A and B are shown apart, each in its own frame.
Chain A
Amino acid sequence: GAVVSQHPSWVICKSGTSVKIECRSLDFQATTMFWYRQFPKQSLMLMATSNEGSKATYEQGVEKDKFLINHASLTLSTLTVTSAHPEDSSFYICSATREDTQYFGPGTRLTVL
């Protein structure tokens, strides 16, 4: 149990376009999901906390108008990278909470050309 999926697993897009990444908890309901960003050979950086039915809470330095988060149901949160630029290229990982533990998705590699 406690499986989290992400879609797509990788995406390549042109500069200026928007990309949506989905995060789903497959076998449990999650009122809270998290979005992280990971640069090569580095640790995870928390971007935002996504709560079902309310606005996301963004970490300091993360542009909320650029990284739009929607948590429309107890099993789905989406991250939309708007007007993507090459510096947004990264590995994006979501997690969903079950009891006192976060379970992570497999990640989405975004490449912006």
Chain B
Amino acid sequence: GDSVTQMEGPVTLSEEAFLTINCTYTATGYPSLFWYVQYPGEGLQLLLKATKADDKGSNKGFEATYRKETTSFHLEKGSVQVSDSAVYFCALGGYNKLIFGAGTRLAVHP
């Protein structure tokens, strides 16, 4: 069945460091791919998405490219801020069902 694998956290970075959170997937067909972010005590917020191969999703300085050849959707940001500290979930699917990765906790220190 379809699945999502994320790098284990926590990821601890200093402010202004470069961020990469790896995400790979297994899927039949061509699902949409998503990154969601969850701040402490809150629900999930859609961060970015890509609906087909080679699409790049971007938002708030975060980017991820839908790579069909490597079945990956890695999340990147050039310069993280303390306010980016949260849990990041990679997911595949869309309107009918989402399959989530385990989540990666990011902690950014000043």
Partner of B95, one of A4, A32, A42, A106: A32
* CB within 8 Å for A106 and B100 given contacts A100-B51, A101-B49: no
Residues of B within 8 A of A (CB-CB), count: 22
Residues from chain B with Cβ under 8 Å of A97 in the complex: 95-96
Stretch with Cβ within 8 A of B (4 or more), from A11-19, A43-51, A68-76, A77-85? A43-51
Within 8 A of B (CB), among A21-64: 32, 34, 41-44, 46, 49
Give 15 CB contacts A-B under 8 Å: A32-B96, A34-B98, A41-B105, A43-B103, A44-B100, A49-B97, A93-B44, A95-B44, A100-B95, A101-B49, A102-B46, A104-B43, A106-B42, A106-B43, A109-B41
Residues B89 and A44 in contact, CB atoms below 8 Å apart: yes
Residues 78 to 110 of chain B near chain A (Cβ within 8 Å): 89, 94-98, 100-103, 105
Where the two chains meet, the residues of B that have a C-beta atom closer than 8 Å to any C-beta of A are 32, 34, 36, 41-46, 49, 51, 89, 94-98, 100-103, 105
Complex contacts, B44 vs chain A, CB 8 Å: 44, 93, 95, 104
Residue of B nearest to A49 (CB): B97
Contacts of A43 in B (CB 8 A): 89, 100-103
Given contacts A43-B102, A99-B95, A102-B94, 5 further A-B contacts (CB under 8 A): A4-B43, A34-B98, A100-B94, A104-B43, A105-B43
Indicate the member of A41, A43, A105 with the most B CB atoms within 10 Å.
Answer: A43
Residue in B46, B95, B100, B102 whose Cβ sees the most chain A Cβ within 10 Å: B95
- In the complex, A109→B100 CA distance in Å? 20
